[in-house]
Each structure stands twice: as structure tokens, then as C-alpha cells.
Chain A
Amino acid sequence: MAKKLITVNVNGKAQEKAVEPRTLLIHFLREELNLTGAHIGCETSHCGACTVDIDGQSVKSCTHLAVQCDGSEVLTVEGLANKGVLHAVQEGFYKEHGLQCGFCTPGMLMRAYRFLQENPNPSEDEIRHGMAGNLCRCTGYQNIVKAVQYAAKKLQEPVTA
């Protein structure tokens, strides 16, 4: 089976690699690019721990082939912080204690990041539905909802010089 040459922009950096067609995006990120933030959880598109952003949409990278990303822009949790400054969703999870073991957190952060662009001022109910594709077995979700609310508020604050 011939490898395919793909060019993917990951966290702002063009990556040109030859991949086997069966390579899943999650393995490409973790093993080819050493970006181990996205986690392998259920491997069946249920848990959301592998969630990344592809061309402005949340996608479960365990159920997406790397070859399908040829020409795409991928953002992973490693690309969220800007020059050492946490993104508002990261700050929210930290301030509101939105994690315990942390396994689901990279996926939660990436989904929250995209969700707040789809819906910048969500109700609690909309947050719960918007984050419904990400499972957490520790927190009971209360603090995750609070973390997203924190980030929503922070992102709406006027930028101060």
C-alpha cells in the first residue's frame, strides 16, 4: 500500500509527511509530530478526548484519516496558548477546577475553544449540549460548565492595551 504525501498545517506550521492511508489523525499527531496533547480514549468516536479543530470545526481525530487532512489546517491543544499566555478556556479550566485526572481535558479545551466561537454567549443548557460529545469521568461536569462560562465571560471582555 503506497504511502501518500500530505501537507497539513498544524498549529500554524506546515508539515509535509508521507503517511499510510490507514493512519488515523490521532496517531499522526501523536506519533509523527509528537503532539501528545490529544488523547486516545475510546477510539470509537464517543468520548471526545481526541477532539481537535480541523478547518474551523471540532472533529474527533480517532475517526478521521490523516490523508483526509491534506491541505487542511489543524489546531491541537498545544496550539491554544499564545507565547506562554494561556487561552481563556485554559485559564477557565484552571481557575474553576474544571479537571481532576486531566485525561479528557485536551479534548474539552479544544471543544470549548470552538464552541465559544460558534456561540460566544451561551446559556448553561447550551454549554451542556455544545459539550455533549466530550465525556468526563471525574468532575460530574459542574466545574467544566463553570470553566466554559468563565472563558465566555473573559472572551467578551474588551481587550485592554
Chain B
Amino acid sequence: MIPPRFEYHAPKSVGEAVALLGQLGSEAKLLAGGHSLLPMMKLRFAEPAHLIDINRIPELRGIREAGGTVVIGAMTTENELINSPVVQAKLPLLAEAAKLIADPQVRNRGTIGGDIAHGDPGNDHPALSIAIEASFVLEGPSGRRTVAADGFFLGTYMTLLEENEVMCEIHAPAFAQGTGYAYEKLKRKTGDWATAGCAVVIRKSGNTVSHVRIALTNVAPTALRAEAAEAALLGQSVNAATLQTAADAATAICDPAEDLRGDIEYKTAMAGEMVKRALAKAWARCV
């Protein structure tokens, strides 16, 4: 399979990329890691007349800490997340979860920004971003703006990212000491998308929950934040009864599509199971 014909552009700066997007309009697509876009082009699900390759823009790469915020360049690859001492120390959820994404070769190419901006509900970074309370820095013709992960995902392949914008950075507060975290992903095999997945970030005060974020992967047209499940846990201890209450509240908002990974009932049940497992694991890590 060979993609349809297109013109290739390789800008050296974000400014150049934004200018190209403005000039070429909806005929253009940004090429990040390419492991979603190129297969879609082979299958003619996408037929952009222009590809703007943003792999040669150094300012889109790299991981740093600024104050209490971890700043991740949008073109940072999954393997760079896994191997980053900053991510391992400050956002260990991302380093751990990235190992569950695709396979070693794909993780050399696949980027965190591409995974988020693509808007595929099967991708893992949308739910992870919501759980770590990330925000995204987007650059367009009139400059930069910052939007929260929670609310960014509008529908399948639809996000707040405008056609003339480039995702530049992912910002997230470094985990406070003692933060518990987990990403539970049920998948059939290496490289598969989740049948259901759940990201949890949790903190305790005494023996009760003082902060919790619960986000779900691939059980609706977008990643979901399970707010009712969070509310049910606040001020409570995590035990069999509260785990069940949280799982029930989370499954109530699931709206999965039936496919080869399972039917609606199965996927919804598995979402509940992932919520319970992720909460239990995150709580056990919480000090």
C-alpha cells in the first residue's frame, strides 16, 4: 500500500509550520510520528495534498522542569518519555504507561503530541493527560494559547486544536510527594489499543482520599473524565465498597463502540474492572 500523492514540506521552526498551515489551509496535515497518519493515508481514510513534516523542528522536542511544572515537547517520543529521568521522577505515570503503548519500534516514532492531537479515543495519552491535569500549548497565527486537557477532546478525531495550529508543549504539575498513580490497560496483544483503560492519580490525607483524578480510555467517542466516580471517593477510604461505587459511577458514563475487542456490555464491564484495578494499585502506592 502506497499513500496518495502529496507535496512534502519540512519546516525548521514552529513559526514556519504555522505559516505553511495558514497558506495551505485544510489541504495540509502535520506529520508527527506518522504511525497513525501514514496508515490512514495508505487506506485513503486521509488524503492530504500537503504533508508538513514537523520532525525537523528542534524546539518541539525535549523534556524539562520549570518550577513545579514538567514541560514536554509535543514531538517527544514514547521511548523518550520512558527513558526520561525527569518523567520517571516527576510524572512516573507517563513513563510507566508509555510502555503499554504500541511496541518498541513504534515507540521510537510515536509522539505524545501526535497521540493527543489525533483525537483517537483508542489513544492512551488523552486519558493520561486528563489524569495528570495536563494543559496543552498550541501555537497559531495569532500566537500561543494554553488549553486544559480536561475539555480538549470533543469527539472522535475532534479536539480544540484548530486546523491552523501546532501543538507545541504539554505541561503538567510534577507529582507531589506520595502521589499514587496507575494506568490499567486491558489489551489483547502487544500493539493493540485498549479494550478498556483507566488512568488514576490519587493523594491521601490521613487515610482518606484528598485528591483523585480518574480518566478512561477507549470506552466512548473521547477519553472520559469520571467526575462522579471521583466525587464518590473524596473524603472516603479506598476499600471494596468504595471501589465498587467508583466503578459503578464510571461505567455509567461509558459509551463504547462494539468491535472485535468486544461488545458494549463487555467493554463497559471491563472499564469498571480497570477502574477498580487502577484505583487499588494507585491507592497502595499512595503515602
Where the two chains meet, the residues of A that have a C-beta atom closer than 8 Å to any C-beta of B are 1-2, 4, 20-24, 27, 43-46, 48, 51, 57-60, 63-65, 67-68, 111, 115, 129-133
Contact = CB atoms under 8 A, between A and B. Distances in A.
Nearest to A131: B104
Contacts of A130: 104
Interface residues of B, number: 27
A115 B109 contact: no
B22 interface: no
Contacts of B38: 24, 63-65
30 contacts: A1-B7, A20-B5, A21-B5, A21-B8, A22-B2, A22-B3, A22-B6, A24-B38, A27-B2, A45-B35, A48-B105, A63-B34, A63-B38, A63-B106, A63-B109, A64-B34, A65-B38, A65-B53, A67-B8, A67-B10, A68-B34, A111-B104, A111-B105, A129-B104, A132-B103, A132-B191, A133-B102, A133-B104, A133-B106, A133-B191
B110 to A, nearest CB: 9
B106 A60 contact: yes
A57 B108 contact: yes
A136 B146 CA distance: 45
B105 A68 contact: no
Contacts of A129: 104
Nearest to B8: A21
A68 B191 contact: no
Interface string B107-132: 01100000000000000000000000
Contacts of A23: 2
A63 B106 CA distance: 9
A43 B1 contact: yes
Interface string B14-43: 000000000000000001001100110010
B237 interface: no
A40 to B, nearest CB: 9
B7 A60 contact: no
B2 A59 contact: no
**9 closest pairs, A vs B, by CB?**
A133-B103, A21-B8, A132-B190, A133-B105, A57-B108, A58-B105, A22-B3, A1-B5, A43-B1
Given A20-B5, A132-B104, 5 more contacts: A21-B6, A22-B5, A23-B2, A67-B53, A68-B55
A132 B103 CA distance: 6
A133 B6 CA distance: 29
Nearest to A3: B8
A32 B212 CA distance: 55
Contacts of B39: 44-45, 63
Contacts of A133: 102-106, 190-191
Contacts of A44: 39, 42
A63 B105 CA distance: 11
Contact of B6 (A1, A27, A58, A111): A1
Contacts of A1: 5-7
Contacts of A4: 8
A2 B5 contact: no
Nearest to A43: B1
B4 interface: yes
Contact of B4 (A22, A57, A115, A131): A22
A4 B55 CA distance: 17
B51 A58 contact: no
A131 B105 CA distance: 9
Contact of B191 (A46, A115, A131): A46
